[in-house]
Chains A and B, each alone.
Chain A
């Protein structure tokens, strides 16, 4: 019942967005609404606001007019798959680093005082400023024969955005057990490590899951933006820039990588939802005795 309602409302939201788009396009002036020389509402001509149908049919046409060019949707799918895997690597690094920081801060009060302000501060550094820096430093790094790849820089930047919600959420979760539970572990004469494994980690899961979802969204955004900033080929970020130049003659084309990015975000969210489902026994609400 509630699931059905959820699907219904979700679909309704998408339909509403489409109706709004096509509705404004139908009634709005083709040069947009201009007040005192400022454009407050966009132009509605087919170049600025293509029909939804144009965007979708464009997906099934070849990328370019050159012979043997693949269909646009397949190129976008390929790029989206590449971006998703880079984002996944970034997410994973972010989760590991975030968890380690949280555990460290839980273990040592001084570490919390010393680290937490920096963790918060780290998120105020603009991503665009960071990307070339990481790529520049990365280009000087070698591991024996292996060389630092540009996609590694992108994953690193994605992880930089992803670790933040994880460290903050996990810290709250690790500190969530009731005093009774912590003292019970003390009466069992078990150390910090066993308490972490049997009590604090399981107790942190309800706090951790929303953090993982935020981290996934952050990792996807970080990947797309870093791809643009570093100029990494193969992902949807770079594809957006490339296709944007085609907008004047082919208005449906730039929308394809945007749809690709949306699909990546949905897949990432679904992945975290699956993790939440697997861990559902840790999400039972505590009931008063």
Chain B
């Protein structure tokens, strides 16, 4: 069976005014196996969102090739091989929760009864059955994001693309949503490409963490997490030693220095944090749109 995603030697250059240009991505090679959970992590401007947009065919690479399930990214988009969720839930405010989940089904000509049934099923999956007839403005941010995830699952895609879907949520909600996402992935068996700038989030969710660096956007290292199958992950994992080891590995890859030197830095007053604490990029605002995602 072909890979869910194959990126070969892809690069993306955005032209700016007066002949200047930004190299958003340079020579990216990456494969995502079917059912695999891969996170893209890195500081703002490292091109992680751009890479996701290339896979989604929302942008085209300047050079290189992107394949999704052995097809071109464009064909995969047309065939609806992936579901997508953005940082903003992006629900249509005039549609009820059910109406929003039904949107892709409706657009692709699925009958009304089948749509209703599928929406009810997905609402149960994300635990919002009691809110089927509410409007988005009556839901909390976390609930809206769950609706958006249910919508991305509507057509049972084999691949989920998620661009910081929990980025706008508070820490508590965020951890709960991560637990739910792990469970959803175990149940649906879909491959996931997940953009984040939280190290613990990436480690908790992923089979592999792709660490990227900015200007030009490149892959520094791919850290295998190997914390066991998605079905076995729960809150306990967040305190397990394997989790901390993986967090440390990702941190080191991001800094490009061994852990000892990082500790020395922190002793010298450079801000750092306890293992697993999110100190590096959590406070950083999402990248300016123009650079990161245009």
A binds B: yes
Chain A residues in the interface with B (C-beta under 8 A): 178, 180-181, 183-190, 194, 198-199, 202, 205, 281-282, 284-289
CB B149 to nearest CB in A, in angstroms, measures 12
Contact A287 B93 (CB under 8 A): yes
Q: How far is the CA of A200 from the CA of B36 in the complex (A)?
A: 36
CB distance A282 to B94 under 8 Å?
yes
Q: Are A190 and B107 in contact (CB under 8 A)?
A: yes
- Kindly identify which residue among B88, B93, B107, B168 contacts A194, using a CB–CB cutoff of 8 Å: B107
Given contacts A194-B107, A284-B137, contact A202 B92 (CB under 8 A): yes
The CB with the most chain A CB atoms within 10 A, among B56, B82, B86, B103, is that of B86
New contact pairs (15) apart from A189-B77, A289-B145, CB-CB < 8 Å: A184-B90, A187-B77, A188-B107, A188-B108, A198-B106, A199-B92, A202-B92, A202-B94, A284-B93, A286-B93, A288-B88, A288-B141, A289-B88, A289-B91, A289-B148
Contact flag A281-B94 (CB < 8 Å), given A189-B80, A190-B107 = yes
For B94, the closest partner residue in chain A by CB is A282
Shortest B93–chain A CB gap in Å is 5
- Assess whether B78 is interfacial by the CB under 8 Å rule: yes
Q: Which one, A181, A189, A288, A289, contacts B92 given CB within 8 A? A: A181
Cβ of B164 to closest chain A Cβ, rounded Å: 11
Which 9 A-B pairs have CB atoms at the shortest separation, nearest pair first? A289-B89, A180-B90, A287-B137, A282-B94, A189-B78, A284-B93, A289-B88, A289-B144, A286-B93
Residues of B within 8 A of A281 (CB): 94, 135
Chain A nearest Cβ from B144, distance in angstroms = 5
Question: A181, B107: Cβ atoms under 8 Å?
Answer: no
Complex contacts, A289 vs chain B, CB 8 Å: 87-91, 141, 144-145, 148, 168
What's the least CB distance linking A204 to chain B, in Å?
Answer: 11
Which residue in chain A gives the minimum CB-CB distance to B108? Answer: A188
Between-chain CB contacts (< 8 Å), 21 pairs: A178-B90, A180-B90, A181-B92, A187-B58, A187-B84, A188-B104, A189-B78, A189-B80, A190-B107, A198-B103, A198-B106, A281-B135, A284-B93, A285-B137, A286-B93, A287-B137, A287-B144, A289-B90, A289-B91, A289-B145, A289-B168
Q: How far is the CB of A32 from chain B (nearest CB, A)?
A: 56
B217 CB–A CB distance under 8 Å:
no
Contacts of A186 in B (CB 8 A): 58, 77
Among B58, B82, B137, contact of A183 (Cβ-Cβ < 8 Å): B58
A178 CB, min distance to chain B CBs, angstroms: 7
Chain A residues contacting B276 (CB-CB under 8 Å) are none
B136 contacts the other chain (CB 8 A):
yes
Chain B residues with Cβ under 8 A from A284's Cβ?
A: 93-94, 135-137
| A242–B137 alpha-carbon span in the complex (Å) | 56
Q: Distance (Å) between the CB of B154 and the closest chain A CB?
A: 10
CB distance from B98 to the nearest CB of A (A): 14
Tell me the complex Cα distance, A186–B77, Å: 9
B interface list, Cβ under 8 A from A: 56-58, 77-78, 80, 82, 84, 86-94, 103-104, 106-108, 135-137, 141, 144-145, 148, 168
Q: Is the CB of B56 within 8 A of A187?
A: yes
CB distance from A218 to the nearest CB of B (A): 28
Chain B residue at minimal CB-CB distance from A280: B94
Distance of B211 from chain A, by nearest CB (Å): 26
Bound state CA distance, A198 and B148, in angstroms? Answer: 17
- Please determine whether A180 and B88 come into contact, CB atoms closer than 8 angstroms: yes
In the bound assembly, the distance between CA atoms of A43 and B40 in angstroms comes to: 81
- A190 to B141, alpha carbons, bound, how many Å? 27
Residues of A within 8 Å of B103, CB to CB, are 188, 198
Nearest residue, chain B, Cβ from A184: B90
Alpha-carbon distance A190/B78, docked complex (angstroms): 9
Residue of A nearest to B294 (CB): A179
CB distance from A220 to the nearest CB of B (A): 30
Chain B residues near A184: list those with CB within 8 A: 84, 86, 90
Q: Which residues of A contact B148 (CB under 8 A)?
A: 289
A283's closest neighbor in chain B, by CB?
Answer: B94
CA distance A149 to B107 in the complex (A): 45
Q: A192 to chain B: closest CB distance in Å?
A: 13
User: A184 vs B91: C-alpha distance in the bound complex, in angstroms?
Assistant: 10
| Minimum C-beta distance from A186 to chain B (A) | 6
Instruction: Please report the C-alpha to C-alpha distance between residue A185 and residue B104 in the assembled complex, in whole angstroms.
Output: 9
Q: Which residues of B contact A181 (CB under 8 A)?
A: 90, 92
Task: Kindly list chain B residues whose C-beta atoms are within 8 Å of the C-beta of A178.
Answer: 88, 90
Nearest to B141 among chain A residues (CB) is A289
Identity of the chain A residue whose Cβ is nearest the Cβ of B56 in the assembled complex = A187
User: Across the interface, which residues of A come within 8 angstroms of B168, CB to CB?
Assistant: 288-289
Contacts of A188 in B (CB 8 A): 80, 103-104, 107-108
Query: In the bound complex, what is the Cα–Cα distance between A194 and B86 (angstroms)?
Result: 21
Measured between beta carbons, the chain A residues less than 8 angstroms from B106 are: 198
A152–B193 Cα gap in the complex (Å)? 62
Q: Which residues does chain A contribute within 8 Å of B137, judged by CB atoms?
A: 284-287
Residues of chain B within 8 A of A285, CB atoms compared = 93, 137
Using Cβ atoms and an 8 Å threshold, which residues of chain A touch B92? 181, 198-199, 202
Tell me the complex Cα distance, A74–B86, Å: 62
Report A-chain residues with C-beta under 8 Å of the C-beta of B56.
187
> In the complex, A195 Cα to B223 Cα: how many Å?
40
| A198 and B107 alpha carbons, distance in the complex (Å) | 9
